[in-house]
Structure formats: C-alpha cells, structure tokens
Amino acid sequence: MTTTSNSSYIEPAPINKENPFESMMSRFHDAAQLLGLDEETYEVLKTPTKQVIVSLPVTMDNGKKKVFEGYRVIHSNILGPSKGGIRYDMGVTLDEVKALAAWMTWKCAVVDIPYGGGKGGIICNPRSMSVGELERLTRAYTSSLVDVFGPDQDIPAPDMGTGPREMAWLMDEYSRSQGRTVHAVVTGKPLVVGGSLGRTEATGRGVMVSTLASMAKLRLNPGRSTCAVQGFGNVGSISAQLIEERGIKICGISDHTGAYWNEKGIDINKAIGFRNGNGGILDGFKEAERITNEELLESKVDILIPAAKEDVITTANAHKIQAKLIVEGANGPTNAKADSIIYEKGISVVPDILANAGGVTVSYFEWVQNRLGYKWSEDRVNRRLDRIMQESYERVYKAAKDYNVSMRLAAYIVAIAKVSETLKYRGGY
C-alpha cells in the first residue's frame, strides 16, 4: 500500500440519499483519508475518464420511431480495459451509471483482476418491449458505441434488465462493425457464442462463498442459521439456491411484485420453478405467506442478502434491521448514511464490491478463454472463482483488522491502494 500522506485538503464529502454517485464518493472519501491519499491521486481517482450519452432512435413494432437515451461511463482504465454491465431500466440516470462504473473499478481491484471500471445503461422498460424491439435497441446502442467498446478497451456484460441474449446481439453487432468475430468484446454471453461455463451462477456463487466465509468468522452454524433474500433475479435466486444447498434455511424471498415468508424455510428450487413458469415473477407464489418488502428487510433472520437494487437500506430502516450479517448481492443496497447505523448496531457487512465480485471474476475468465480460443470445465471455473473470492475476503478482513474499520471501508482501502499504486507506476502527463 504505497501512498503519500497529505489529507488536510480533502473537504468533507456530501452524502445525498438520492444520489448514488455521492453515496459511493463518501465511502471513497473516507477510505482515501484513512490511506492518506495525496491530492493529485484523489482527483484522478474520483473523476470518470469518459462519459458518453447516446440517443437511440428505434423502430417500434407499431412502425413508429421512439428515441431512447443511453449511457456508457468509463470510470477508470488504470488497471486495464474497463469492465462493467449494461442496465436496462426506467430509473437509469447518468449519476447512477457513474456510481456503478466507479464501483466496478473498486470491485475489480478488490478481487485483483486486471480491469478498470465502466458501466452502461439505457432508460427503457425491457418488460414492456418485444424481443424484436429489444434487439433493435441493443444493436443501436452497440453501433453508437463501437469506438468505445473493444476487447482491449471496454468490455460490457449483463446487469439489471439484460442477460446473455442481449450480450449475443452486442457481440454480433460489434463483430459486424469489425468484419470478424470478436468474442472477447463482451462477457456474459450464451455458451454457444463464447460464454463461459459457470458465468450465469458466478455472482450468486461468490455471494455464497463470502456468506460462508463471514459465517465462519462470526461462528454462525449453517445448519442453525436463517436467511432472507431481496430480489429474485439472477443474483438473488442463485444466491438463495446455493446458500440453501449449504444447509441454511431461506425464510424470506422477494421481487418487485412482493415478498414471501415461510418460517419453516422456502424450497428455493420450487420458487425458481414457479418464477420461470410465471413470466419471471413471484407474484402468486403459494408456498409462503405474503409480506411486504420492508418486512422482509427487517425480518428476524441471521443473514440478509439484498440482491435487487441500490438504496434499500437507508436511515429510515437501518435501525430496524435484525440480521447479524448483511451480504450485499446488489450494487449499493446500503445508503452511505445508513453505514454508521449498521456498524454501530454491530451488524457485519460483506460489502457489494467484495460480495458480488464473483460475476466480474468469471467474466474475466470468459474473456481469458475467448482470447485463448479455449474452454475451461465448469469445475475449473468454480474452483478458481472460489479461491479468488476466499482470498479476496481474507485480504479485506485483514485490512479491516489492520485499520480497525468496517469491512466496507476496508474493501475501499484495499481497492484504492491497489489502483493508486498502479497509477504511480504508470505515471501521466
């Protein structure tokens, strides 16, 4: 950790509940101060390298053109090409994409993979669009950003509202622009177009590994522990499934349509089966009692896994949380203002930039396999992922002890130290 000491210039960082970028910046600020980061490095690391806004006219199924707004933000390419998902959601804003891009920089640094951070998003409601409309939108977005994307420049992946199908369209559209097949431009692709075994499960698997690592430190016995999971998409449902397989009882699950509770434990495979046959939602799930999403977050469980969206644990509910351990499957689920309440209550937190880093880690494996023109077995992917998650957890845990800070601040300290040291060696103008 090589940094120089001069922290007096750093103004107190504003924390704004509504603004995810400020929320991210306040943690960055605190960690930078603890590290004694010098002023120049602080300025470089806080400012995104590139922010692109694109207008995407798309012909809808009714024959009319509709213009969508899309973003791609590259926060940093100090450690390597920028890496980060693309989000399709009505709530996408440039500030949100900036925060998510910065989180990717810190996340890649925490798990020690050679990537910088980026993120993209389009303001749209994918659930109300046809497959054809989504394909045209994805291709228009890709075509607008062919100069930004590239296997050595900026490598997208799925995020909320996107998945392997969108990544295949993106790979194809980018490849057309280059006149050759370029698998490594995007990760999270379907297996047949160069995806990696284990990628779909990777984020949930990383959540499971970091949950078990934390439980071991807290001496929580899996056979006697309970868990609630918010969000039942890729991250939430797979985390729940893998955690249940390790003997932990999942008492609560939820999605945007509502939350479900069963004291005796919910059969997660049944819930996944129900969701898959029910248009992707849990609405009407009969194996559990219906509760509100607020009740789920405040329920009496040992482990809480927010795996839906940012800003769900705030000053309004942090003091009501009863879990002993929070493992952040989603990006930014805990508001910066709520951090101190959670810390003072003695609740352990595995922060997002560590807990959900399994996805980007296997994305990195996918990119490596694409560049090698080779395929790894699922077992090899999982073993390497488990090792990276376990080692990263221990690295952050050690920093938390060394600096006597929360796991969240420790993760930022590990990440900022790595990026700032690399920057020092690389230099600049």
Amino acid at 223: G
Pick 82 or 293: Cβ nearer ligand NAD: 293
Q: How far is the CB of 158 from ligand NAD (least distance, A)?
A: 6
Output 142 or 234, the one with its CB closest to ligand NAD. 234
CB of residue 255 to ligand NAD, shortest distance in Å: 3
Using CB under 6 A, list all residues that contact ligand NAD: 158-161, 203, 230-236, 254-256, 293, 307-309, 329-331, 356, 359
**Residue number, nearest CB to ligand NAD:** 233
Of 117 and 329, nearer to ligand NAD (C-beta) is 329
> Is the CB of 32 or the CB of 396 nearer to ligand NAD?
396
- Show which residues are catalytic: 119
For ligand NAD, give the closer residue by CB, 3 or 98.
98
For residue 160, the minimal CB distance to ligand NAD (Å) is 4
Q: In the 3-class helix/strand/coil scheme, how is the chain assigned residue by residue?
A: CCCCCCCCCCCCCCCCCCCHHHHHHHHHHHHHHHHCCCHHHHHHHHCCCEEEEEEEEEECCCCCEEEEEEEEEEEECCCCCEEEEEEEECCCCHHHHHHHHHHHHHHHHHCCCCCEEEEEEEECCHHHCCHHHHHHHHHHHHHHCCCCCECCCEEEEECCCCCHHHHHHHHHHHHHHHCCCCHHHCCCCCHHHCCCCCHHHHHHHHHHHHHHHHHHHHCCCHHHCEEEEECCCHHHHHHHHHHHHCCCEEEEEEECCEEEECCCCCCHHHHHHHHHCCCCCCCCCCCCEEECHHHHHCCCCCEEEECCCCCCECCCCHHHCCCCEEECCCCCCECHHHHHHHHHCCCEEECHHHHCCHHHHHHHHHHHHHHHCCCCCHHHHHHHHHHHHHHHHHHHHHHHHHHCCCHHHHHHHHHHHHHHHHHHHHCCC
Q: What is the nearest approach in angstroms of ligand NAD to the Cβ of residue 43? A: 27
CA 65 – CA 87 distance, rounded (Å): 22
Q: Which is nearer to ligand NAD, 1 or 90 (CB)?
A: 90
- Least distance in angstroms from the C-beta of 257 to ligand NAD: 7
Report the nearest approach of ligand NAD to the CB of residue 307 (Å): 6
